[in-house]
Structure 1
Amino acid sequence: MFWLQSAEKSALAFLLIDPFMFFADYTVELSAADRRELQVEDRSDVAVLAIATLPHRQGAPCTVNLQGPVALNLASRLARQIVNSGPELGTRRPIDLTTARHG
């Protein structure tokens, strides 16, 4: 888990998780526009993380936005939320934080 916090508005922050640790078949394709905006020269410099929402009430699941992940260029430190269109991805997909895969 990671926190992405605004440098200009410190109260604005997102909890990010690695969606591949929870969904083995999850895939993301960066469009040419995404690669251009992120200044991607090497695909291995890009990390894709999902925005997580913590539950407001006890017992409710944590959810993640698989349809709008954040792509980060680790070399240039640029990030952008992208649109990932795939079957049944969803913007509030429940996850169990205790079932994360490692590797």
Structure 2
Amino acid sequence: MKINNKYFGEIEYEAEEKLSFPDGLFGFEEHKEFLPIPFEEGTDTLICLQSLADQDLSFILLNPFAFFVDYDPQISKEDQTAIGSPKEEDISYYVIGVIRDRVADSTVNLKAPIAVNSKTRNARQIILEDPAYTFRHALGETKGREE
């Protein structure tokens, strides 16, 4: 299968690569299937999440653990059930970013991450109860993991 993407042009993909969002994303509930496209091969630090229904709709996702060492999302039982009741180690988390020309002006949504069941490829955007996480957290305030 193929899809056009504004960053990468025409992309070929296999059906098993797509992510299924039964509830869609907040504000985009009608979009149920997306293709994650890494900006750099072999890493999930920065991903383009491309809608398979609308080639003009895509989001920039970041792996929050690469930027916020203390990030600790706690998924509810209801959200776990919605993505297929995976073991905690089978859940990957991503946050939607708004990337500006200056990285310090960019923000990420730590309050509503995307939880992905890596076994079934089912995903859901969730809202965390922790008041420390915001919808527009400055990326310039990152604390990356020490290598």
TM-score range normalised by the length of the shorter chain:
0.7 to 0.9
Give the Cα–Cα distance (whole angstroms) in 1 for the partners of residues 49 and 146 of structure 2.
22
Residue type at the aligned position of 1:52: G
Are 2:140 and 1:96 equivalent residues in the alignment?
Answer: yes
Identity of aligned residues (%): 33
Larger RCO, structure (CA 8 Å, separation 6 or more): 1
8 Å contact kept, 2:68–2:142 = no
Q: TM-score scaled to structure 2, two decimals? A: 0.61
Partner of 1:24: 69
8 Å contact kept, 1:47–1:72 = yes
Residues 58-67 or 6-15, more deviating:
58-67
Unaligned runs of 5+ in 1: none
Q: TM-score scaled to structure 1, two decimals? A: 0.84
Are 2:51 and 1:6 equivalent residues in the alignment?
Answer: yes
1:67 partner SS:
coil
Larger Cα Rg: Structure 1 or Structure 2? Answer: 2
Runs of 4+ in 1 over 6 A off after TM superposition: none
Give the Cα–Cα distance (whole angstroms) in 1 for the partners of residues 144 and 70 of structure 2.
14
What are the equivalent positions in structure 2 for 1:1-103 lying under 5 Å apart?
1-55=46-100, 58-59=101-102, 61-96=105-140, 100-101=144-145
Residues 58-82 of structure 1, C-alpha deviations (whole Å, 9 max, x = no match): 4461110000111111111111100
Give the Cα–Cα distance (whole angstroms) in 2 for the partners of residues 92 and 61 of structure 1.
11
1:37, CA displacement in angstroms? Answer: 0.7
1:75 partner SS:
coil
8 Å contact kept, 2:106–2:138 = yes
Unaligned runs of 5+ in 2: 1-45
8 Å contact kept, 1:64–1:91 = yes
